[in-house]
Structure 1
């Protein structure tokens, strides 16, 4: 099925997906999805539970590789480079395309070591002073520095849920990714922590291409400029967020947004 797509003339996309299908064994979870992801805009994936939005998100940094019976057909490119090519270094890909998960998952290490882990593995710091600078800058970008600067050696797991999620975002951006994928990053958080994450997404917009999966339509309306509606493994409609929410062209989109199902 071809999605209804309507966008103004955007700059060259950061990532492109063309005719992407995902299978778990014989079951087709995603059916022939094509979409562009822009650096300039936050893109939200919405749809009812089980519609395929998180499955498709995971194709963008090959997280489905970790599932034994998963198979991905079609083409996905990052800056014109096929991320499923045999020559693609998956470790480097996941540094370029970072992931923030639904449930905060800090390492059982200090706050400092949580952020320093990726830069250390990828050799991004020549010494302690450079690493200190990366950790500080990453925590500042994640809006967490002022809250933790005097407790960097405490365990990351001792932070509140919202702080843990911002620590995970700091950990993701410490390796200077180009794309950040967020899989329902606020679903386990209270409203105050959620507001901080949403504010952070606004601040990070433009520095990184950001894709967020959310079951919260109000959140999608608040944080994104582009929205893709998924249903039963299909991309039904994709366009400017304001248009999708006020003037959807496909009846299924309208029914979902108006609460007739979900």
Structure 2
């Protein structure tokens, strides 16, 4: 019997995974993961390197489709619709479930064009004024507008690392997503830039469902309301963050949090 690690919430579940297995060729990377994500709570995935947390994160918007030999079993739903059905529009799915990667990856375009690109190709705008408004709103939500409003025509790659990461978040927000996935978004950043990203996550909570992978347990404790601990491709424990860190149910969780391994 597969243990159900879903956490009950008063808010409707935004994304739900049931008995998810992921294979890379013959190698099984994820085994029997079940989890729910709602709009009200930031979810942090923690665990040692190679435990499967980033692999599982990528199943939530089918990024694993881009890896040769990758195969996903089980069910993952967005608003109750299975995202792995053959007729799912994957481009549209990735607009609804955006991804922010570990290393900032702005396009080699202007700051303005980085943010405008998605709304333009998805047909979300009716002219220049509409596009200008989306760019400004997205940059404001990403906490970047005041820093770049007078240099929108400069290259996005000329920004600092922390600014580039917030630009990538603005780019994800611009297509009006419902879920934002963040794969170690602060690992390449200095402490000041990290603090700005964490503050931004707090501000975005509730407007989007947010899932963050982090190696930094202090960060997980600061930014999330629910935490999932992965080990050797399995979801060992999922619960309220404060309880996971102070009174974990599983010995493996306690050992990891107290530094006995990982």
TM-score, normalised with respect to structure 2: 0.98
Query: Where do 4+ consecutive residues of structure 1 move more than 3 Å?
Result: 1-10
For each residue in 1:39-69, what CA deviation from the matched residue of structure 2 results, as whole angstroms up to 9, or x when unmatched?
A: 1000000000000000000000000000010
Q: Does 1:199 align with 2:199?
A: yes
Where 1:14 maps in the other structure, the secondary structure is strand
Q: What is the alpha-carbon distance in structure 2 between the residues aligned to residue 83 and residue 150 of structure 1?
A: 40
What is the Cα deviation at residue 12 of structure 1? Answer: 1.8
Would you say the 8 A contact 2:42–2:209 is kept in 1?
yes
Task: Tell me the matched-pair count.
Answer: 262
Match of 2:60 in 1: 60
Report the counterpart of residue 41 of structure 1 in structure 2.
41
Alpha-carbon separation, structure 2, partners of 1:116 and 1:236: 40
1:9 shift after superposition: 3.9
Would the alpha carbon gap of residues 154 and 6 (structure 1) be closer, same or farther in structure 2, given more than 3 Å must change?
closer
Contact 1:45 1:53 in 2 (8 A): yes
Q: For residue 100 of structure 1, what is the aligned residue in structure 2?
A: 100
CA RMSD of aligned residues (A): 1.1
Cα distance change, pair 113–228 in 1 and its aligned pair in 2 (3 A): same
Q: Deviation per CA, 1:5-57: give whole Å up to 9, x if none.
A: 47454322100000000000000000010000111000000000000000000
Instruction: From the superposition, tell whether residues 191 and 13 of structure 1 become closer, same or farther in structure 2 (CA, over 3 Å).
Output: same
Deviation, 1:187, is 0.1
TM-score (norm 1): 0.98
CA deviation profile, 1:87-130 (whole Å, cap 9, x unmatched): 10000000000000000000000000000000000011110000
Alignment of 1:86-125 (within 5 A): 86-125=86-125
Segments of 5+ residues of structure 2 without an aligned counterpart are none
Aligned equivalent of 2:136: 136
Q: 2:255 aligns to what SS in structure 1?
A: helix
Gaps of 5+ in 1: none
Mapped to 1, the partners of 2:243 and 2:3 lie a distance apart of 15
Cα pair distance change 1:63/1:7, threshold 3 Å: closer
